[in-house]
């Protein structure tokens, strides 16, 4: 036990435990190893080696499960990223289509408005032309009536 005293002192200082408690725990562990060795007909070294192999197997299992967990997290993250990317693409496509539809509706509305405006102007132009014709005809009629009236008194006096 004296060969391990420096290690026990260092361990007790590192973990903040009592040296006597650590020495007692080591003695108890050594007694259990000897007891297990006697039950399975192994010496202490074989029990410790078997224990280490078991710990290594447990450690390997823990590491494997941890790696699988990280892999599953990566796969889930990748699936989410793919879904978000696809959703963003679909939204972009939908917005582009929506903007194109609005643009086309505006262009069609402008064409219809231009056609309607042209029809109104054509109608106004036709009305204006007709009004001018009517005024011209009335003016000509008025002039003819004036001329006829002017001729009537001269014709009555000369008879």
CA 127 to chain centre: 59
Decide if pLDDT at 68 tops 70: yes
Closest to 60 (Cα-Cα) out of 52, 70, 50, 72: 52
Q: Is residue 27 part of a domain?
A: no
Q: Is residue 29 part of a domain?
A: no
Query: In which element (H, E) is residue 140 found?
Result: helix 44-157
Decide if pLDDT at 155 tops 60: no
Higher pLDDT, 69 or 88: 88
Q: What is the rounded CA–CA span in Å between residue 145 and residue 68? A: 113
Q: How many domains are contained in the chain?
A: 1
Decide if pLDDT at 159 tops 80: no
Give the per-residue pLDDT at 28: 83
Q: What is the pLDDT of residues 76-127, one digit of tens each?
A: 999 999 999 998 898 888 888 888 899 999 888 888 888 888 888 887 778 8
Q: Is residue 101 part of a domain?
A: yes
């Amino acid at each position: 036990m004296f060969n391990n005293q420096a290690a026990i002192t260092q361990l007790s200082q590192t973990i903040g435990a009592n040296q006597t408690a650590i020495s007692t725990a080591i003695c108890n562990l050594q007694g259990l190893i000897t007891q297990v060795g006697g039950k399975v007909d192994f010496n202490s070294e074989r029990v410790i080696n078997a224990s280490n192999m078991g710990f290594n197997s447990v450690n390997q299992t823990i590491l494997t499960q941890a790696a699988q967990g990280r892999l599953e997290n990566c796969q889930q993250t990748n699936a989410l990223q793919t879904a978000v990317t696809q959703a963003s693409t679909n939204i972009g496509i939908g917005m582009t289509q929506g903007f194109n539809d609005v643009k086309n509706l505006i262009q069609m509305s402008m064409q219809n408005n231009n056609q309607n405006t042209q029809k109104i102007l054509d109608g106004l132009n036709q009305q204006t032309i007709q009004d001018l014709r009517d005024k011209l005809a009335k003016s000509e009629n008025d002039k003819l009536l004036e001329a006829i009236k002017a001729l009537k008194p001269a014709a009555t006096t000369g008879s």
